[in-house]
Structure 1
Amino acid sequence: MPNATPFPPRSFNSLEHLADWIGETLQCPVTIEDANHRLLAYSSHSPHTDSARIATIVGRRVPEAVIAGLWRDGFLPRLLASSEPLRIPAIPEIGLGSRVAVAIRHHKDVLGYLWLAEDPLRPEADYNSVLSEAAAAAVPKLLQLLNHAKRNQESHQDFFWQMLTGHMISHAYIESKASAWGLNLPKLYQIAVLQTEHNVTEQQLGQLHYVISTAGAYSIPFMTADGPHFIVMTQALPTSDAARKFYTFLDKTLSDRFGIALRSFGFSNPSDHYGHTVAKYKEALDVLRFRQRHPQEGALCVVHADLGFYRYLPVIAEHNQASGYTNPSLLKLKAYDQEHNSALLLTLQTYLECDSHAKRAAEALHIHTNSLNYRLKRISEVGSIDLEHMNQKVTLYLDLKADTLHL
């Protein structure tokens, strides 16, 4: 290591000044990042600059492939767990040359990272003392940035809650407020509710923010938490499969990196009106609750539209209850079953669920097709039902479902 010039603790004017001082002192390129790997400052290049550093400077953040590689190989967990500089060997598949890195800490909190690209001609140089001193000197500047970002985040969360609860319904005002904050609202958005095992902590909300912001593939203007729920506004995902992949990505990454287990989810339908956020939030909760209460029927439900006719069951059930209505045909079949210890009601429901396909219904009931046909004849006679009449079949099916399934 070249002879270091005397270090002036906390006397630099900016993080750029600090990065330049470290680079000149150690004769190696340096980058300073925040805790979410956004680039804050960097020194000049050297002839040995690698593609990871170039991509970081051009994109103003560390590429996701580099972050994923550092997590995969265990270097980021080690950085998070240690206050000492860590030497990281080159990882050619992600374009990363050898590095020496140190976490910038304030007590137990990691505020950011300081990365030094090693000179391959001096692989065993000792940079640790300078990097440790520089990391300590960077703390006040990063605390200023963190406090400003935290105030903004709290303002964003408060504003988001006003949208979620229907206290902020002006599309134009929401757009103007987001623009003033520098938030890029997507033209189409969805609300996603992600269920965890326990109540979400502030730290876990920060970890979700870290995972999403470092991925770089999703536009997430707002996020918050309520009890065991992460609540996220995301750009509209084109299909239910894309929404499921988004959930799967978050589930795996949060589990692998932070031990956070997601249990279920619900996505709203897309919308282009930010005044409808409260309705979209309810849609996402409806999907989540349906998936939890009815795992078999809910397994294929991702966005609210996937619920199909189940969206209307609460209305049907509420109307039936308010008017004291029960389908008379179903009442007759239920009474017959109780008196004769038969299964006509179950047979009817299974037959309708199998789209009136006798062979499939018989297999589902584990009976012979002839036995099914006999039961269908008794159902028609006892319940005064015409199983060739579509309106009757639809009405019976919805009334059956309204009796047994609710959102």
Structure 2
Amino acid sequence: MEIQALVDDLARLIKRPITVENTDSRLIAYSAHEWPVDAIRMETLLRKGASKATIDVLRKHGVYMLIDSSPGVVKVKAIPAIGFTSRMAAAVRSGREVVGYLWVDDDGVLLSAQDETAIMKTARLLSSKISKLEPVSEALENDADSLVMEILSPAGGKATLLEHRARLHGLQLYPPFQVMVLAGKASLLPQGLGVLRRHAEGFLLQEDVEAIAGIYEGDVVIVVAGEPSPRVRQVALGLARHVEATGFPVSVGIGCSYRELSMVNRSLQEASEAINLAAGLNLLDQGPCFDYGQAALGDLVMCMPHCKARRTYGRDVVRKIALYDRLNGAELLKTLEAMLDCGGKRKDAAEYLHVHPNTVDYRLRKIEKVTGFPLDDPSMRLAVHLWIKALRYSGDQGEDQA
């Protein structure tokens, strides 16, 4: 959504005039010419920005300092001498750096909590768009990297200090905490990592996610706060697709969710391990996102083909089916795996396999005949399901016959 559209939407929602300026008080966008309009707003609209004299007066009265130092919406008192009526304002921040100001007319009625939330959300969405108009300072990016490093440090910093620094970057450190790692599928130079991080920041702002991104040990690391795990997985998938569309093929690892900030480093380790597990299972080309919790099964089954020399029931059943498939050009093993993956729901399995449910039924009967495998025994289903995964990952299905 463009800057003007964001401003118009906010003005309609809170029913007040809106003006957006950069830090040089150059007018960027404003809502329709609602009346009454005070002298300063009229000047700003006609001149496409406030005059130097006006800016000097506002600075003398500490207006910009007040806005810059507040993490939320502040009320700015009137300055009758220059025709400046009272109004609300919020800083538009790109990380720690203020890149603009969002001004809201004060009609004498207190803003509701919903209105304040809408104003701050718009300020966050404006951030990435105004940042594209203004160069992002290297100092700002370095500070974000420093904050991410401090949050991820096993020793950790003082929670209150971290929370204060995070607020300056527009991040509220509320639990739960979860880490995503963006690893390039090809090696990236530092400049490439910086571009990748900025793409990620823009997407996270657009999705209104409480998160901060930084470069850490050669990857882009994102610390997410206050979001449930399903939402984080959804965001990770959208982020991977967004970044890949810009020409950066990536794998995204997702760590587990924790209530304590001190556990964020563990979530980082898990996010990195999720990518390593996917690489070990040759799955990197099958999807951009890898959740450590969901990859745990892969971690288990990787060692199963070599964990014991003696024959086991599950392995023998799978190899019998694989041998039958190879000799007869059948797809019994694929069908059984789909059926087990779908929790025994034949219609879902049929849809996944693109066959009629009756075909699934026929193949399952054939499996029972070939192996004697009783599909109604939950313990045996689990054993066979695990061995299907283990032997598929190891690539030796059907190499030996029972």
- TM-score bracket for this pair, using the shorter chain length: 0.5 to 0.7
Percent identical: 16
**Corresponding residue for residue 123 of structure 1:** none
Q: Counterpart of 2:101 in structure 1: which amino acid?
A: V
How far does residue 262 in structure 1 lie from its aligned partner after superposition?
Answer: 6.8
SS at match of 2:228: coil
Matching of residue 56 in structure 1 with residue 90 in structure 2: yes
How far does residue 192 in structure 1 lie from its aligned partner after superposition?
Answer: 1.5
8 Å contact kept, 2:145–2:215: no
Extract unaligned runs of 5+ from structure 1.
1-14, 16-22, 33-37, 81-108, 112-145
**Bigger Rg, structure 1 or 2:** 1
How far does residue 369 in structure 1 lie from its aligned partner after superposition?
Answer: 6.0
**Corresponding residue for residue 312 of structure 1:** 297
**Corresponding residue for residue 244 of structure 1:** 234
**Corresponding residue for residue 28 of structure 1:** 54
**Corresponding residue for residue 223 of structure 1:** 214
8 Å contact kept, 1:237–1:243: no
Extract unaligned runs of 5+ from structure 2.
1-22, 24-48, 60-66, 71-75, 103-120, 395-402
Matching of residue 347 in structure 1 with residue 300 in structure 2: no
**Corresponding residue for residue 269 of structure 1:** 256
How far does residue 395 in structure 1 lie from its aligned partner after superposition?
Answer: 1.4
8 Å contact kept, 1:244–1:302: no
**Corresponding residue for residue 379 of structure 1:** 367
Cα pair distance change 1:226/1:319, threshold 3 Å: same
SS at match of 1:29: helix
Q: How does 1:17-96 map to 2 (within 5 A)?
A: 26-29=52-55, 39=68, 46-47=82-83, 54-56=88-90, 62-63=101-102, 65=122, 68=125, 77=132, 79-80=133-134
Q: Counterpart of 1:175 in structure 2: which amino acid?
A: A
For 1:221 and 1:400, locate their aligned partners in 2 and report how far apart those are by CA, in whole Å: 40
Q: Counterpart of 1:238 in structure 2: which amino acid?
A: P
For 1:296 and 1:245, locate their aligned partners in 2 and report how far apart those are by CA, in whole Å: 19
**Corresponding residue for residue 391 of structure 2:** 403
8 Å contact kept, 1:267–1:283: yes
Cα pair distance change 1:153/1:360, threshold 3 Å: closer
For 2:275 and 2:383, locate their aligned partners in 1 and report how far apart those are by CA, in whole Å: 26
SS at match of 2:373: coil
SS at match of 1:186: coil
Q: Counterpart of 2:52 in structure 1: which amino acid?
A: L
For 1:296 and 1:211, locate their aligned partners in 2 and report how far apart those are by CA, in whole Å: 25
Q: Deviations over 1:152-200 (max 9, x none)?
A: 5565455456x3xxxx2x56x6637736967774343111223557625
8 Å contact kept, 1:333–1:379: yes
SS at match of 2:384: helix
How far does residue 297 in structure 1 lie from its aligned partner after superposition?
Answer: 8.2
SS at match of 1:385: coil
For 1:337 and 1:356, locate their aligned partners in 2 and report how far apart those are by CA, in whole Å: 21
Q: Counterpart of 1:377 in structure 2: which amino acid?
A: R
Cα pair distance change 1:328/1:160, threshold 3 Å: same
Q: Counterpart of 2:254 in structure 1: which amino acid?
A: F
The structure 2 residue matched to 1:282, chosen from 265, 269, 276, is 269
8 Å contact kept, 1:160–1:223: no
**Corresponding residue for residue 15 of structure 2:** none
For 1:213 and 1:372, locate their aligned partners in 2 and report how far apart those are by CA, in whole Å: 43
SS at match of 1:356: coil
**Corresponding residue for residue 344 of structure 2:** 356
**Corresponding residue for residue 10 of structure 2:** none
The structure 2 residue matched to 1:391, chosen from 373, 379, 392, is 379
Q: What is the count of residue pairs matched by the alignment?
A: 297
SS at match of 1:55: strand
How far does residue 360 in structure 1 lie from its aligned partner after superposition?
Answer: 5.4
- What's the TM-score once normalised by structure 1's chain length? 0.53
8 Å contact kept, 1:268–1:304: yes
8 Å contact kept, 2:251–2:275: yes
**Corresponding residue for residue 333 of structure 1:** 321
